[in-house]
Amino acid sequence: MIATKNYKETILLGERIGKHLKPDDIVALSGCLGAGKTTLIQGIAKGLGVQNWVTSPTFTLINEFEGKPNLYHIDLYRIDNIDDAEDLAIEEYFTKGGVTVIEWAEKIRSILPAKTIKINIKTVSENERKFDIEGMEMRDAR
């Protein structure tokens, strides 16, 4: 479990995570609305060398950003079931050579590969968050 005390620390955590990600890595984020999923992704994008500012793709569902490797940001907030997600061909992103980061990933748990890095975000207070990270060695990312 890793804790952050504010927005800036969450961005820095994401940046450290992003620097350790490799092509075809998949990061599944879960947490309540407002937990900081998009903030963490902004840091991940920075760690991947993405120059554009990342915002939530809630209305487009999938945004692609050029980086090293590229970032595929998928937001499933508006998806009601696994069939809707499968219609988006999300699984194709898993092997496109970029990093795929999925918000509300619990909605597609059944199609996520075993190698998926899972991050559950818990809101502690207005600014504090706790990150439970599975599937990634975090020794160097602290």
Distance CA 81, CA 103 (A): 14
Tell me whether residue 135 is in a domain: no
Question: CATH number for the domain including 126?
Answer: 3.40.50.300
Average of per-residue pLDDT across 103-113: 90
Tell me whether residue 139 is in a domain: no
Average of per-residue pLDDT across 93-114: 92
pLDDT tens per residue across span 39-94:
999 999 999 999 877 777 556 788 888 888 999 999 988 887 777 777 778 889 89
Tell me whether residue 140 is in a domain: no
Tell me whether residue 55 is in a domain: yes
Average of per-residue pLDDT across 6-13: 96
Distance of CA 37 to the CA centre of its chain: 7
pLDDT given for residue 57 in this prediction: 59
Domain count, the chain: 1
pLDDT given for residue 138 in this prediction: 56
Tell me whether residue 88 is in a domain: yes
Domain around 111: 2-130
Tell me whether residue 91 is in a domain: yes
Tell me whether residue 39 is in a domain: yes
Distance CA 142, CA 135 (A): 15
Task: Reply yes or no on whether the pLDDT at 130 is more than 80.
Answer: yes
pLDDT tens per residue across span 13-51:
999 999 999 999 999 999 998 899 999 999 999 999 998
Which pLDDT band holds residue 140 (cuts at 50, 70, 90)?
Answer: very low
Task: Reply yes or no on whether the pLDDT at 117 is more than 60.
Answer: yes
pLDDT given for residue 79 in this prediction: 82
- CB count in 10 Å sphere of residue 19: 15
Tell me whether residue 36 is in a domain: yes
The answer to whether 132 touches 122, Cβ cutoff 8 Å, is yes
